[in-house]
């Protein structure tokens, strides 16, 4: 039996799905996390892992789901057209995101399923969809004891962090964020004291600061920046997430050891793993 507050990884990868033996343990699907808060079901991002989540959820007859999108890059939305509950009339799907480029949220997601990119339009969905534009810095209250706060991240085109506070427990989701040269004090305050932070650990320092092929400005962070942030913010656990498609299972094992030396309560996100808050 699951606790009243838990989250499960259905996709842990960044940029592009990486199926195969080399990613078997940590997973090859892109970003998608299911969060249970009592009777409320939240979904963080709709990467390719959302298809697997949909197959599981579709076993239930009636669903009310809250999907929170960080941004609209392909690896965070490509699972939506393959989400089985969206084709079920008994599903209510509330989609939250910060609108970009003066285009409505409905229009942004509709473009994902238009020709020549997809064979059928978003109107093929039979569920009830509620498009819910949100502010880069704000609060969404889903219940008296459940609120979701937002925070703008440093990523090309923009991205949004989410902090979910349920009762006296909390998790923060910070993916697709590039750290600054010094501690981001505002972000640290946003996640301060969270039980878990799920953090963009796309690069190792050697990749990010490589003198011949540096990745500064590409919109992603490092495990060392994540551990520094976790320590400064006095969080309970750091979860390394949004794995680089070039990082196979063996590489992630090595990075995990390095991260744990810097912050002992570090976990590497694994597809299929459930964590209780």
Domain boundaries, the chain: 5-276
Q: Report if pTM > 0.85.
A: yes
How much is the pLDDT for 61? 83
pLDDT in tens, 40-95: 999 999 999 999 999 999 988 899 999 999 999 999 999 999 999 999 999 999 99
The torsion of the CA quartet 12, 83, 1, 240, rounded to 10 degrees, works out to 10
How much is the pLDDT for 2? 56
Strand, coil or helix: 228? helix
How much is the pLDDT for 1? 40
Pinpoint the alpha helices (H) of 98-184. Answer: 105-112
Q: What does the alpha-carbon distance between residue 236 and residue 277 come to, in Å, rounded to a whole number?
A: 10
Residue 190 clears pLDDT 80, i.e. is over it:
yes
How much is the pLDDT for 28? 98
Neighbours of 8 (CB within 10 A): 18
What DSSP character marks residue 213? S
- Per-residue pLDDT averaged across 28-35, rounded? 98
pLDDT in tens, 195-247: 999 999 999 999 999 888 889 889 999 999 999 999 999 999 999 999 999 99
181: exposed, middle or buried (C-beta count within 10 Å: 0-12, 13-18, 19+)? exposed
Residue 186 clears pLDDT 60, i.e. is over it:
yes
How much is the pLDDT for 220? 97
- Per-residue pLDDT averaged across 26-46, rounded? 98
Element (H, E) at 21: none
- Residue 35 forms beta bridges with which residues? 7, 42
Which residue in 72, 191, 41, 145 sits closest to 10, CA to CA?
A: 41
Residue 152 to residues 133, 134, 193, Cα–Cα distance (Å): 14, 11, 19
Q: Which CATH superfamily is domain 5-276 in?
A: Ribonuclease Z/Hydroxyacylglutathione hydrolase-like (3.60.15.10)
pLDDT in tens, 110-168: 999 999 999 999 999 999 999 999 999 999 999 999 999 999 999 999 999 999 999 99
Residue 99 clears pLDDT 50, i.e. is over it:
yes
84: exposed, middle or buried (C-beta count within 10 Å: 0-12, 13-18, 19+)? middle
- Per-residue pLDDT averaged across 11-22, rounded? 97
Q: Which residue spans within 110-204 are E strands per DSSP? A: 128-133, 139-143, 146-153, 159-166, 169-174, 196-200
How much is the pLDDT for 101? 86
Element (H, E) at 84: none
Residues 132/96, Cβ–Cβ less than 8 Å: yes
């Amino acid at each position: 039996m699951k606790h009243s507050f838990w989250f499960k990884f259905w996709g842990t990868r960044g940029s592009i799905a990486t199926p195969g033996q080399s990613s078997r343990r940590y997973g090859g699907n892109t970003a998608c996390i299911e969060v249970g808060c009592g009777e409320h079901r939240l979904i963080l991002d709709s990467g390719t892992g959302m298809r697997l989540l949909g197959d599981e959820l579709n076993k239930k007859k009636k669903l009310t789901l809250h999907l929170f999108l960080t941004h609209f890059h392909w690896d965070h939305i490509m699972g939506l057209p393959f989400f089985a509950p969206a084709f079920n009339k008994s599903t209510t799907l509330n989609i939250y995101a910060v609108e970009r480029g003066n285009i409505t949220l409905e229009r942004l997601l509709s473009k994902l399923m238009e020709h020549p990119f997809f064979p059928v339009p978003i109107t093929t969905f039979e569920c009830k969809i509620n498009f819910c534009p949100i502010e880069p810095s704000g609060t969404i209250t889903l219940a008296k004891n459940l609120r979701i706060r937002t925070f703008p991240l440093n990523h090309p085109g923009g991205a949004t962090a989410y902090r979910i506070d349920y009762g006296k427990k909390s998790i923060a989701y910070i993916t697709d964020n590039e750290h600054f040269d010094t501690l981001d004090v505002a972000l640290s305050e946003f996640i301060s004291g969270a039980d878990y932070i799920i953090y963009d650990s796309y690069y190792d320092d050697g990749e990010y600061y490589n003198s011949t092929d540096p990745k500064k400005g590409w919109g992603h962070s490092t495990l060392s920046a994540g551990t520094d942030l976790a320590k400064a913010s006095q969080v309970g656990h750091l979860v390394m997430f949004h794995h680089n498609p070039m990082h196979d299972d063996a590489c992630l094992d090595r990075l995990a050891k390095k991260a744990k030396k810097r912050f002992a309560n570090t976990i590497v996100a694994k597809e299929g793993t459930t964590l209780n808050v």
